[in-house]
Amino acid sequence: MERFITITLVSRGVSARAKMLDQEAPRTAAAVWDTLPHSAQVYHGKYARNEIYTLVPALTPEPLGLENSTITPIPGDVCYFSFSATELSNPGYGYREGEGGETATDIVDLAVFYGRNNLLINGDVGWVPGNVFASITEGLEEFAAACQDIWMSGATGETLRFDKA
């Protein structure tokens, strides 16, 4: 049976529906699904280009590893990344105190790609492959417009929420 999630930019009142890719990324899809809902401050990608994301605590006690991974996500891809807190502690990332990497706990980045020409490379660590665990099937155009507004107007006060549909 197909499973879907709803991805929402709360303050902007915009949602998209995404199909879980259970066949392609079974471990990642299960880890995300089993821990829903997730809701936290949204950020706009600095290096990847057309990406918004939120940071949440580790979803599993052990790393999931790569599956259905990419370094060139396409519009509608929903990706999972796992980082140690120290990987995100560089002040260049722009996180405020309590965001990014002040603890030893692993951090999960749940990201939505809304436009073309994305390349997942980071100046500090190099290539950063992400697990594509869902794909937006409804509402991408309106969601992409709201993401572009985050880029141009700012992310302050905006929440990115992931729920079971």
CATH of the domain at 49: 2.40.100.20
Domain that holds residue 159: 4-164
111 forms beta bridges with: 53, 79
Block mean pLDDT (10 aa), the chain, length 165: 97 98 98 97 90 92 94 98 73 53 69 96 87 98 98 95 98
pLDDT at 123: 77
Rounded Cα gap, residues 96 and 49, in angstroms: 21
At residue 148, the pLDDT reads 97
Q: What is the dihedral of CA 4, 8, 14, 19, to 10 degrees?
A: -20
**114 by DSSP, 3-state: which?**
coil
Cα end-to-end span (Å), the chain: 13
Structure tokens at 68: 């259905």
Residues facing residue 138 across a β-bridge: 17
Note the pLDDT of residue 102: 47
Residue 106: exposure state from Cβ atoms within 10 A (0-12, 13-18, ≥19): middle
**How many domains would you assign to the chain?**
1
Q: What pLDDT does residue 124 have?
A: 76
* SS3 state at 126: strand
Residue 91 CB coordination number (10 Å): 7
Q: What is the pLDDT of residue 104?
A: 45
